[in-house]
Amino acid sequence: MSPAPVIESLPEGLANLADFEAPARARVSDAAWAYLSGGAADEITLRANRAAWDAIRLHPRVLRDLGHGHTRVTLLGRELRHPILLAPIAYQRLFHADGELALGHAAAAQEAGLILSAQASVEMELVAAPMRADPGAGPLWFQLYWRDDREFMRALLRRVEAAGFQALVLTVDAPVHGARDRERRIGFKLPDDIRAVNLGGLKKPLDLQPGQSALFDGLMPRAATWREVDWLRTESRLPLLLKGVTHADDAREALARGVTGFVVTNHGGRALDTLPPTAALLPPLRAAVGPDVPLLVDGGIRRGTDVLKAIALGADAVLLGRPYVHALAASGALGVAHALRLLRDELEIAMALSGCKTLADAGPALLWPGAPA
């Protein structure tokens, strides 16, 4: 049984996801805000993610029969009420005392999917409980970072499976932190009472010789390679998706090794700066993997029109990131649920005004020529 989250009142005047940002900022420390809001280096990719969705124009059809339309999609063989999932974001007790516990309840209430971060600050079983208890809840997946300790990873996989998670999402684009200047300027560090509670134990210390690089001689030999992807495929019965593949050749290699699908991402602009925006990465990856491989996309999703554009560019579903953390900080589980509801309503409006009865009607023809391709 998962404990109940704190139910708070919503701030006044919430018309869209952006309206959560100001009340969230008032509740969050400067250091935590820098951690959440900042990107890598000059934050070129961070800004480009949002700008790319804004630059795409819709080209609607009219006078179509849209009665009894819906937002349902199929993902990993399961029909979902809508294509919106909550992205994995670490240490959410930085932003609200309930942290990830609030996400489980909000996602279940709005029939949204949830990908829980390996660096969650609440035990995975507590987060999973409300999702498992609600038959209408969306998919429940677990995001992994590789740790160079196969016994630890094996035990973690068994725990993830026992808790009821239905897929694994291995992050492959961030073997080290990006150069995040906002965090470095403010001296961000985790408070003593917040940690990755599902990753017990200590990492092995680096064993460096004089003159060796802590990154290339210490950390990178421990990072995941294709060998670890193969190992995960054999060690767990759960479908495996890779988060952070941006090159078509890597996507084809992953499929050849039995990977199920991909999250198209640039890590929210937090890893390698100057990567293309995800709206530009999505179409060539869809072309590379074909029509049937599950593709999800994140990065800058703020409006229902963004969701519709993502589907038109080839995504099966989208991940919502920073905006739901703003909602969490502003008013806990109720805030996250309300943010999801706002985005779902905006998606329905965008579909109706674009002549889309279902999301299967959203293809390249829905986009004004010149959209990213």
Distance CA 113, CA 296 (A): 12
Strand segments (E) across 237-362: 240-243, 261-264, 295-297, 317-320
237 and 160 Cβ atoms separated by less than 8 Å: no
Token readout for 85 is 């999932």
Report the residue count for the chain: 373
Place of tokens 């809840």: 137
Half-sphere exposure of 303 (CA within 13 A, CB side): 12
338 and 9 Cβ atoms separated by less than 8 Å: no
In sequence order, what are the residues at sequence separation of 6 or more whose Cβ sits closer than 8 angstroms to the Cβ of residue 169? 88, 115, 141, 142, 143, 144, 240, 241, 242, 243, 263
Strand segments (E) across the chain: 73-75, 78-80, 84-86, 113-116, 140-144, 167-171, 240-243, 261-264, 295-297, 317-320
| Residue positions annotated with a catalytic role | 267
CB atoms within 10 A of CB 235: 16
- Does residue 353 sit in helix, strand or coil? helix
CA dist list (Å): 56 to 258, 334, 364? 33, 31, 11
Token readout for 310 is 């993502």
88 and 115 Cβ atoms separated by less than 8 Å: yes
Handedness of CA 173, 228, 233, 160 (dihedral sign): negative
Distance CA 271, CA 251 (A): 19
Longest dimension (CA), the chain: 73
111 and 80 Cβ atoms separated by less than 8 Å: yes
In sequence order, what are the residues at sequence separation of 6 or more whose Cβ sits closer than 8 angstroms to the Cβ of residue 342? 14, 15, 16, 17
